[in-house]
A and B are shown apart, each in its own frame.
Chain A
Amino acid sequence: MPSDYRAEIEAQRPYLLRYASLQLRNREAAEDAVQETLLAAVVAEKSFAGRSQLRTWLTGILKHKIIDSIRRSSREQPLEADLSPDELDALFDASGHWREPPQDWPEQALEQKEFLQTLEKCLAALPARTSQVFLMREHLGFATAEICKELGITATHCWVLLYRARMALRECLQLNWFGTR
């Protein structure tokens, strides 16, 4: 086995670890998923054969390892079944109108590194499960039906968690980014 292949794989470790940490939060679980990915990549060198970018290929393997990890942890620690009307309802007044009407956010924020860093901080402030479901949907790109299946929750529960995540994130970004500019 050519050693430069191993070196190239190893060079992707920091990127993969960042990717896994975003999804899993738990450093140990993220490192395990990356380690399993790198091992699988060494074994499967022939099936790589330069068909795609190395990073893209490794990320594809990593996604599966992340899902395995999420599946394991959701078995050990089932999702809280809390569907009560929540604090987010405080965003609206008694007649159902926004207390603070949402503003028109400038699109240029997407080009700013600091904005994405603020977003990561806002994600980290979400309850663990809420952020997990949100990232499975928006970052890993799973359909809600797949998320429900993996986590053993109902579609309604899934929609509630996604709604909570979006509303909490837009509050957080308004407060820490758009409202300060």
Chain B
Amino acid sequence: MIDCKHAARLMSRAMDDRLPLWDRVRLRLHLAICDACTNARRQMQLLRRAVQRLV
């Protein structure tokens, strides 16, 4: 089982490149039980949409 610190790094990386299968599985398992990380992931996605609106 990975912790939130590890999950946060994987979430960010998953926004840029395809994660290796094992990391995808571990991340999905973690997100299924962690509201904080699920929120963090939504925040990073909102951040992406916000940056696209700049200028």
Main secondary structure of the interface of B (DSSP, over half): helix
Residue of B with least CB distance to A145: B17
Interface bin, chain B: 20 to 34
Q: How far is the CA of A169 from the CA of B40 in the complex (A)?
A: 12
Interface of A is mostly: helix
Tell me the chain A residues, 1-40 only, with Cβ under 8 Å from chain B.
15, 18-19, 22
> Number of A-B pairs whose CB atoms are under 8 Å?
96
Residues of A that sit less than 8 Å from B by CB: 15, 18-19, 22, 89, 91-92, 95-98, 101-105, 107, 109-110, 115-116, 119-120, 134-135, 137-139, 143-144, 155, 158-159, 162-163, 166-167, 169-170, 173
Question: Which chain A positions have C-beta within 8 A of B50?
Answer: 109-110, 115-116, 119
- In contact, A97 and B3 (Cβ under 8 angstroms): yes
